Structure 1
Amino acid sequence: MDVEVTIRVDGTDRRLTVDTRTTLLDALRERLGNTSPKKGCDHGQCGACTILLDGRRANSCLALAVAHDGAEIVTAAGLAPDGQLHPMQQCFIRHDAFQCGYCTPGQIVSAVAMLREAEAGWPSAVTMDSPDGGADGGPVRLDADEIRERMSGNLCRCAAYANIVPAIEELARR
């Protein structure tokens, strides 16, 4: 069965007709030609398909397009309007935080959302294990352990983590 949906992708409203089983990932890539989110595992385990869905990071391979009619979606491409790179994208380049680049868009989108979550005081397993309990609701200090924990849903087959974490740390310190 086909259903008509409207999604706002990287600032542009897009109306399309999709089968009810179509994931956001497939709608973005196959129907809209947005190849920023990648199809890695197609099971929500690698994070290559990470997008911002209504401001929160999500694995687009696990989200059905029909369930997100009217949603606001931002991909890594949408973080760089008019060719002006997002500060996180600049940090990834400066730190050479990629090798093959396949996971990079998902890593960057996830890192941008993670910084927002930490600023909002959202705890993680590392935060909760800290001496102060991390329960004060204030911004979370992002050290390497905290960043690794918060980015654990994004895998890199090339193991560029040694450069990914410092790239995120640079922006987190600003």
Structure 2
Amino acid sequence: MTIRLKVNGKLHETDADPSTPLLYVLRGELELRGPKFGCGLGQCGACTVHIDERATFSCILPITSVAGRKITTVEGLLEDGRPNRLQQAFIDEQAAQCGYCIPGMIMRAQVLLNAKADPTDDEIRKHMRPNLCRCGTHAAIMRAVKRAASA
């Protein structure tokens, strides 16, 4: 069974088992390295992507549930091959220590900024809560989201 996926604006076909998690197809077949395998249980957020512009854990999402839907990874946020405003804010604020969680953090934050141009600190904290950073760079992540909102 061939499943069609629309990832970062391009159509792809996969013959992977329909129950295969989206993350495995993104990394293994499409060679997109932004989404990371963290926990495999939908608890850490390292695998966060956008499905129809909603932040979603791709490690627990079977590919059959996203066939024909709009899938965006952190690579898909680039603008003419350059970091978008939020990605650049993460760079400017040096929001990564190990960097493993950062693609997922960016994807979750982008959804917030798409919905609300100038979120409060409490709104940012609440929205970002599902994604974990084990290195403790939460303060820099907050600054990056605020910087992008004010840009």
Fold in common (TM above 0.5): yes
In the TM superposition, what is the alpha-carbon distance from 1:81 to its structure 2 partner?
4.1
The answer for the alignment partner of 1:150 in structure 2 is 127
The whole-number CA distance in structure 2 between the counterparts of 1:28 and 1:109 is: 15
The answer for the alignment partner of 1:161 in structure 2 is 138
Q: Could you give the per-residue CA deviations for residues 88-144 of structure 1, whole angstroms, max 9, x where no partner exists?
A: 00000111111111011111111101112335xxxxxxxxxxxxxxxxxxxxx5222
Cα RMSD over matched residues? 1.3
Which 5+ residue runs of structure 2 have no aligned equivalent? none
User: Where has structure 1 moved over 6 Å in runs of 4 or more?
Assistant: none
Task: Tell me the number of residue pairs that the alignment of Structure 1 and Structure 2 aligns.
Answer: 151
Secondary structure of 2:6's counterpart equals strand
Q: TM-score, normalised by structure 1?
A: 0.82
Q: TM-score, normalised by structure 2?
A: 0.94
In the TM superposition, what is the alpha-carbon distance from 1:67 to its structure 2 partner?
1.5
Q: Could you give the per-residue CA deviations for residues 27-52 of structure 1, whole angstroms, max 9, x where no partner exists?
A: 11112111110000111111100001
Q: Could you give the per-residue CA deviations for residues 36-74 of structure 1, whole angstroms, max 9, x where no partner exists?
A: 100001111111000011111111112110111112111
Q: Which AA in structure 2 matches 1:94?
A: D
Secondary structure of 2:97's counterpart equals coil
Percent identity reads: 40
The answer for the alignment partner of 1:21 in structure 2 is 19
Q: Which AA in structure 2 matches 1:51?
A: V
* Alignment equivalent of 1:112, drawn from 107, 110, 113: 110
Q: Which AA in structure 2 matches 1:110?
A: R
Which 5+ residue runs of structure 1 have no aligned equivalent? 120-140
The whole-number CA distance in structure 1 between the counterparts of 2:36 and 2:79 is: 20
The answer for the alignment partner of 2:56 in structure 1 is 58
The whole-number CA distance in structure 2 between the counterparts of 1:150 and 1:61 is: 19
The answer for the alignment partner of 1:130 in structure 2 is none
Greater C-alpha Rg = 1
